[in-house]
A and B are shown apart, each in its own frame.
Chain A
Amino acid sequence: MGGSLNMIGYGLAAIGPGIGIGLIFAAYINGVARQPEAQSRLQSIAILGFALAEALAIIGIALAFVLTGSSTQ
């Protein structure tokens, strides 16, 4: 098996955005359940929040690979 400690670190770092995205979609589903006609408005807001929370995970995976490259050279 190959790998590096960075990937474990990245796995831990992904917990945060994971919880965040869960909360965002929980709120979105709640909102649509209470007021179904607001779905189209809520959808783009939910996707935006999802994208912003996901950015943290994305920065994490980029850094995990970047630091892997630099620490072994």
Chain B
Amino acid sequence: MNLATSAPLAAEGGFEAPGPGIFDLPPVFTVGGIDVTKPMLLLVLSALVVFGFLFAAARQRGMVPSKLQFAGESAYNFTRNSIGRDIIGSHDFQKFVPYLTALFFFILANNLFSSIPFIQFPTFSRASMAYALAGLSWVIYNAVGIHKHGLVGYLKLQCVPAGVSPIMYPLLVPLEFFSNILVRPVTLALRLFANMFAGHILLVLFATGGLYLVEHGGIGYVAGPVAWVLAILVAFLELLVQVLQAYVFTLLNAMYIQGALADEH
């Protein structure tokens, strides 16, 4: 059967598991022929929230930090030290910290939308959003590497593994090119997308499955509430995954930038 057309609950004939169809939301409104959907609005909202938080935290700087300033500085310190400095290295991590900080909090805000009541939609469960973000990071780490090493030097750095005898080059160089230049942005995007996608489907499955069981009575009166309790537990697991994926995305970005900046051995 085609999962793309299945509704969360079929009218008759048993329970139909939620599929990719639950992510196809109708447009909220249309501007000049372009349908504006919920994920697009959430993307803008998250940018405003992140900007508002960091701007408000940085605006009133005092010797004795306010609670807001303390929160902002702790958050900034996390991306600066444990992602930027530890991965890229203390020599030239400074200029990437704004990008990494913005990236981390932007993804975090979008992922947490999945768990906030009445919003409850992870923006990056739409693959195109994740592809755009991964495309941006692809451009950045390649540009950084080409800027530092030149085009030929950068390709040599990325594609020719060190300490391998030249006999293996015909096999390894295409593989390294494929893996480091072509597949990296795809896996980066797919990792974020699929985690959000699978997590949201799992939550919908437990919620609608519990409803179906309760509606049909019998043993369902016991099994349905159990499914709802599990849905709550899964929601906490999802909170962990959401923060972890924001961290992993930023960490991998830092690692790719570090790999592009690395000196030849």
Contacts and interface: CB of A to CB of B under 8 A. Distances in A.
Contacts of B20: 65
Which residue, A2, A48, A68, A73, has most C-beta atoms of chain B within 10 A?
A: A2
A7 to B, nearest CB: 9
B251 A44 contact: yes
Q: Taking chain B's interface residues, is the majority helix, strand, or loop, or is none over half, making it mixed?
A: helix
A58 B1 contact: no
Interface string A1-14: 11110000000000
Given A40-B82, A47-B248, A51-B248, A4 B1 contact: yes
Contacts of B82: 40, 44
B196 to A, nearest CB: 11
B2 A69 contact: yes
Interface residues of A, dominant DSSP: helix
A35 interface: no
Contacts of A47: 247-248, 251
B14 interface: yes
A70 to B, nearest CB: 10
20 contacts: A1-B14, A1-B15, A2-B3, A2-B16, A4-B1, A44-B86, A44-B251, A47-B247, A47-B251, A48-B251, A51-B248, A58-B190, A58-B194, A59-B190, A61-B198, A62-B190, A65-B20, A68-B2, A68-B3, A73-B2
Given A2-B10, A68-B3, 13 more contacts: A2-B6, A3-B17, A4-B1, A4-B3, A44-B86, A44-B87, A51-B251, A51-B252, A58-B187, A58-B190, A58-B191, A62-B190, A62-B194
